[in-house]
Structure 1
Amino acid sequence: MMIIFYLLLMLRAGRCAHDPIFDTKTVGVGDDVTLTCPRQKNSQTEYFFWIRLVSGNFPETFKGTYQFEYNVVHMTPRTATKQGPETFLLQINKTEPSDTGVYYCIKVDLLDMTFLKGTFLRIKGPEPDITAIIQDLPSDPVRPGDSVTLQCSVLSDSETKMCAGQHSVFWFRSGSDESHPKVIYAHGNSGDGCEKSPEAHAPQKCIYNFSRNVSSSDAGTYYCAVATCGEIFFGDGTELEIEVNMWDLEKANTVLFLLCAALAISLIVNMYTIKKKTCDCCNADVAPQTNAAPASGDQQSQQMLLSRVIYSELTTWTFLLEHQTSTRGKLEEQREGMKKRQRERRSTPMSGR
């Protein structure tokens, strides 16, 4: 019989009743629920079944019953199917979130299958009590080596709290290179820093601070995240900008310029020295014929040495110039980006979630 049922389901041989019923039931986790289906006495060959449909899974079937009176209860650890007065019942005890789905009551009469009733069963878990997450921006400019404190205020309605335990608070950082946020800190005791307003129905406010000495690599967006009731809530984020020390930049440029100048002077001196030695070798060509071969060898050696020195120093010089240009360009882009973000931050009010 079950083989025929599956074949009929796959071949879509079923049809809906003339007045199909579809309703929705919402129950809490751990509650008991009973789904009912009308059972009319029309034929002795009719059978009734309950099936459950969950997106992405195969249909799940429950034990069926006959059209006629059949006082047998089919039970599993948490479900039971049985007959009632002109009804066919599916009972689910101590519901779990995984019980959420669409339940259909089906009547099968020989090769005819009819959908009598559909029920969307929603298992409602505990609701989180978080009402807002507010992050504060540092008021003063931040420079490398400064100590920065980021603050996150979590507002919650303690009267509607249904989850056991305290909130878990984490800090995430997303770098300027658009990388995925990474956890950088977790608060150990989330109950610290919480205060409840004496006013009636006022939310509870918990303040979480995160401090660190920053460097230029710590620039990015910092997010305060609160985990509760199996969910995680993020704040809007705090963008931490590290100001560039222009005095250090000027000193670095000056040192780089002096190195380039010293390299140029060294190149000129070496070229002059090697050239002078080469000329001395040329003057030695007027010596006796027996000394011609050694003089020629010394001349070739001096020329090779000159070429290597010139190539090495030109390569170093080119590298220093390219590094100086690249560094200056990046710093200019960073400075312009900081100015742009500061203008946007002044024109856009901050809002917490």
Structure 2
Amino acid sequence: MFFLHQGYSLVPVKTVQLGEAATLTCALPIKEFGSITVHWYKQSAGDGLKLIVTLSKSAPPEYSPEFSRKRFNVENANNVCNLTVLKTVQEDEGIYHCGIAEWMYPIQWSETYLSVKGNTQMTSNYTVVQWPTVLDPLHPGESVTLQCSIISVFDKATCSEDLSVFWFRAESNKSHPNIIYTHGNTHDECENRSETQKRCVYRFSKNVSSSDAGTYYCAVDICGEILFGNGTALKLGMIFH
């Protein structure tokens, strides 16, 4: 298991071979399990959260119709809740969210990206570029556009249809980043840079608020592996009233 960026405790990535079992873990509070309920969700590129299963001590696991218990298994032991994909297929790839609900407390979240390897293309043929490294200070209400370029090198240059691009925002005072946008398999533009090289550009635009400062990472799922940019730091200027 590795992380999207070493500078923060970001979303961990678990990589398995196609057809293997994959077990994702979620740390539980050190207290009686009977006082909490655990929800597991899956999020694919371009999609919202889809509930997989709900687990509590007072009832057997409740699986959503889309996620059969023949393919998924959930159990808790030693203050850890495990979700196991019994035999992975390519469609299992995505971000898995664990939500811990306690009475009178906010839901606690943790995430893991499950990467399913099975494609024969080589990620060494790709480069992920983010720029500028630091944006000039902005003020709330101003618009900003973040840009991420994927450069591919092949005998016949192409932007793979298997690309999935995610944008994360990380703050130094948070243990996990927020996923803010997914491109799915769409890009803004592609161009041939040479006979063997092609570049596809992915952009994310938003009007900033006072809480939007942080480092924004472009993470790209290529052929079952994760490549990521160095991040773009978004700084907000001083606000005068």
Q: TM-score if structure 2 supplies the norm length?
A: 0.45
- Give the number of the structure whose residues are more often helix, by fraction: 1
Structure with the greater relative contact order (CA < 8 A, sep ≥ 6): 1 or 2? 2
- Give the number of the structure whose residues are more often strand, by fraction: 2
> Which has more radius of gyration?
1
